[in-house]
């Protein structure tokens, strides 16, 4: 147990040094933060930026930035993104002051209106320029809000994607689809806010919590960048005898998950299991096995386990993924990773958790390759920050034994090999009868390759 403590001591350092700031932009952005604040969020500093003073004063966050003090005189931006952008530009100094010194910045906004659509890309850009890792969490408007707002939102999303390292995009439509139509509009929006605030917390926890099996920002980036930014997110916690099962069911019951059905089309899935030191291997095995039923053979699972003494007898499961990923890429990435499995993070020593690093040994290399593909610089940055992780590679000796013991572990690897073969086969015939004809290339895409393959639609 002495070793266990020292282990935590070492883990705390890098996470403490990583400062996280969440900025809510516009009306929807500050609503999300209010919700996050109410639900309780620690180790993360919140700030609200808005043109509308009334909404700003109503916000419960500590730091508030009024955008466009002279331009809008404390009124809103009237749904005009250009005004929102101009207001943000006017307040450039204040924004820069608010983001200076933070390593990771979340930008939360509801796109479609003026301030959110206009200012959020600008703030993301400032944050990126300041050298921080930028993760944007945005909502897309309901279709019934009109074509104009949808178009503004789409344009803004495009801009944000250029600046942010990763974007998680919540479609209000999709969230509403799964709630009852007779639910009030206020409730529908609130439901969206809850989901987003949960995801902020989950992502923040992923980044900051010392984990036995740590997942980093790069893992999240890899998962989210893979798809077309439609995020899948689920969070659930439970206590009691059957807490592992209950937490997973809760997570899958999240509106964005559609009872796990949406997971079938995801390519990469991050799952983090949090609990106090009393989490058992059996519980983790249960969660992973059940989750495996919901995902397709080609899906890559990245598992993280965090030990948080404040959880008490509760156990929580967070699932993050995105729709529309490209199976080919992830499998190739996995293949690359097999050649350089060098980054191992935790070195747990408590008896109860000894087997888990092996699960990671099998699972992690692919995640590692993901990083190499998605953001090599990022990987370098994180590696240099966590030199202590490399030493756990020694555990490899006990690998065999665990493969037999941990069911979920032995399941995962053969699946990946299957997927690889299938995809390669696809590659060879993908142009079919147009193999020998002059290729039709428009906007950089070879149109002779079936559209459903290029659009990553899973047709089986």
Partner 1 sequence: MARDNIFAGLEIGTTKVCVVVAEARHDNTLKILGVGNAPSRGIRKGEIVDFETAKRCVHDAVVDAEERSDVEISEVYLGISGGHIRSFNNRGVVVLEEGREEIDEQDLEDVRTNAREVSLPMEDCVLHTIIQHYYVDGQDGVLNPLGLFGKKLEADFHIVYGIRTRIQNAIRCVKELELETADVVINSFATAQAVLDKNYKQLGALVIDIGGGTTDFVVYVEGAVKQSGVISVGGDHITNDLSIGLKIPSARAEKLKIEEGDVTLGNSFPGETIVLRDETGFAGREIERETLNQIIHCRVREIFEIVQRQVEGDQNLNYLGAGVFVTGGSSQLRGIEHLASEVFGMPARTTAPLPLAGVTSAFEHPQFSTAIGLVRYAHLVHLDRPMTRGILSRTMKRLSGIFRT
Q: How far is the CB of 162 from partner 1 (least distance, A)?
A: 19
Nearer to partner 1 by Cβ, of 335 and 434: the residue is 434
CB 176 within 8 A of CB 12: no
* Binding window for partner 1 (CB under 8 A); candidates: 298-306, 314-322, 382-390, 426-434: 426-434
* Binding window for partner 1 (CB under 8 A); candidates: 66-74, 118-126, 282-290, 428-436: 428-436
CB 85 within 8 A of CB 122: yes
433 forms part of the interface with partner 1 (CB under 8 A): yes
434 forms part of the interface with partner 1 (CB under 8 A): yes
Q: How far is the CB of 443 from partner 1 (least distance, A)?
A: 7
Sole residue written with tokens 């086969």: 425
Q: How far is the CB of 345 from partner 1 (least distance, A)?
A: 40
Q: How far is the CB of 150 from partner 1 (least distance, A)?
A: 10
The contact mask relative to partner 1 for 96-135 (x = CB under 8 A, - = no) is ----------------------------------------
Nearer to partner 1 by Cβ, of 40 and 444: the residue is 444
| Alpha carbon distance 211, 450 (integer Å) | 42
5 forms part of the interface with partner 1 (CB under 8 A): no
Nearer to partner 1 by Cβ, of 335 and 426: the residue is 426
Q: How is residue 341 written in tokens?
A: 């499995």
Which of 147, 181, 201, 358 binds partner 1 (CB under 8 A)? It is 147
| Alpha carbon distance 460, 457 (integer Å) | 9
459 forms part of the interface with partner 1 (CB under 8 A): yes
Nearer to partner 1 by Cβ, of 393 and 450: the residue is 450
Q: How is residue 104 written in tokens?
A: 């990771």
404 forms part of the interface with partner 1 (CB under 8 A): no
148 forms part of the interface with partner 1 (CB under 8 A): no
Contacts of 247 (CB under 8 A, 6+ apart): 236, 237, 238, 287, 315, 316, 317
Size of the site for partner 1 (CB under 8 A): 23
438 forms part of the interface with partner 1 (CB under 8 A): yes
| Alpha carbon distance 156, 158 (integer Å) | 5
The contact mask relative to partner 1 for 198-237 (x = CB under 8 A, - = no) is ----------------------------------------
CB 109 within 8 A of CB 116: yes
Q: How is residue 444 written in tokens?
A: 């950089």
| Alpha carbon distance 425, 268 (integer Å) | 21
CB 136 within 8 A of CB 107: yes
451 forms part of the interface with partner 1 (CB under 8 A): yes
Contacts of 223 (CB under 8 A, 6+ apart): 268, 269, 270, 302, 320, 321, 322, 370
| Alpha carbon distance 207, 40 (integer Å) | 17
In the sheet that 300-307 helps form, which strands lie side by side, from edge to edge? 211-213, 300-307, 268-275, 314-322, 231-239
Q: How far is the CB of 195 from partner 1 (least distance, A)?
A: 24
Which of 1, 2, 180, 442 binds partner 1 (CB under 8 A)? It is 442
Which of 240, 387, 432, 444 binds partner 1 (CB under 8 A)? It is 432
Contacts of 126 (CB under 8 A, 6+ apart): 92, 95, 96, 99
155 forms part of the interface with partner 1 (CB under 8 A): no
335 forms part of the interface with partner 1 (CB under 8 A): no
Q: Hey, which residues between 33 and 52 contact partner 1 (CB under 8 A)? A: none
* Binding window for partner 1 (CB under 8 A); candidates: 5-13, 320-328, 333-341, 433-441: 433-441
DSSP-assigned beta bridge partners for residue 317: 236, 273
Tell me which residue of 319, 233, 250, 238 sits closest to 283, measured CA to CA.
238
User: Which chain residues interact with partner 1 by CB under 8 A?
Assistant: 147, 426, 429-434, 437-438, 440, 442-443, 447-448, 450-453, 455, 457, 459-460
């Amino acid at each position: 147990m002495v070793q266990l403590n020292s282990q935590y001591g070492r883990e705390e350092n890098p996470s403490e040094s990583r400062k996280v700031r969440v900025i809510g932009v516009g009306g929807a952005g500050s609503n999300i933060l209010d919700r996050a604040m109410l639900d309780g969020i620690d180790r993360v500093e919140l700030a609200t930026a808005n043109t509308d003073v009334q909404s700003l004063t109503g916000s419960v966050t500590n730091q508030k930035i009024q955008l466009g003090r002279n331009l809008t005189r404390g009124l809103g931006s009237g749904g005009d993104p250009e005004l929102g952008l101009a207001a943000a530009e006017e307040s450039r100094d204040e924004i820069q002051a608010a983001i200076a010194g933070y390593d990771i910045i979340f930008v939360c906004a509801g796109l479609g209106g003026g301030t959110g659509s206009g200012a959020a890309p600008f703030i993301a850009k400032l944050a990126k320029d300041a050298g921080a890792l930028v993760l944007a969490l945005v909502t897309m408007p309901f279709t019934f809000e009109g074509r104009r707002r949808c178009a503004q939102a789409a344009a803004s999303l495009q801009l944000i994607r250029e600046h942010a390292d990763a974007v998680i995009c919540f479609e209000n439509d999709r969230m509403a689809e799964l709630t009852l139509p007779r639910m009030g509009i206020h409730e529908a929006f609130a439901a969206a806010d809850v989901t987003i605030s949960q995801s902020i917390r989950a992502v923040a926890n992923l980044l900051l919590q010392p984990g036995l099996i740590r997942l980093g920002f790069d893992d999240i980036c890899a998962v989210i960048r893979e798809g077309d930014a439609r995020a899948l997110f689920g969070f659930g916690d439970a206590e009691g005898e059957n807490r592992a099962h209950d937490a997973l069911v809760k997570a899958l019951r999240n509106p964005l998950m559609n009872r796990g059905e949406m997971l079938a089309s995801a390519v990469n899935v991050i799952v983090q299991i949090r609990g106090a030191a009393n989490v058992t291997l059996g519980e983790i095995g249960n969660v992973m096995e059940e989750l495996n039923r919901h995902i397709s053979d080609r899906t890559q699972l990245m598992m993280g386990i965090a030990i948080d003494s404040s959880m008490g007898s509760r156990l929580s499961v967070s699932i993050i993924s995105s729709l529309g990923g490209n199976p080919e890429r992830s499998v190739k990435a996995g293949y690359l990773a097999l050649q350089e499995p060098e980054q191992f993070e935790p070195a747990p020593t408590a008896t109860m958790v000894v087997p888990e690093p092996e699960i990671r040994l099998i699972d992690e290399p692919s995640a590692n390759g993901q990083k190499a593909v998605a953001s090599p610089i990022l990987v370098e940055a994180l590696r240099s920050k966590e030199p202590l992780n490399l030493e756990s590679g020694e555990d490899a000796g006990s690998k065999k034994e665990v493969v037999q013991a941990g069911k979920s572990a032995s399941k995962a690897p053969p699946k990946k090999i299957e997927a690889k073969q299938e995809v390669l086969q696809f590659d060879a015939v993908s142009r079919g009868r147009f193999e020998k004809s002059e290729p039709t290339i428009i906007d950089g895409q070879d149109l002779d390759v079936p559209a459903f393959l290029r659009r990553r639609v899973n047709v089986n």
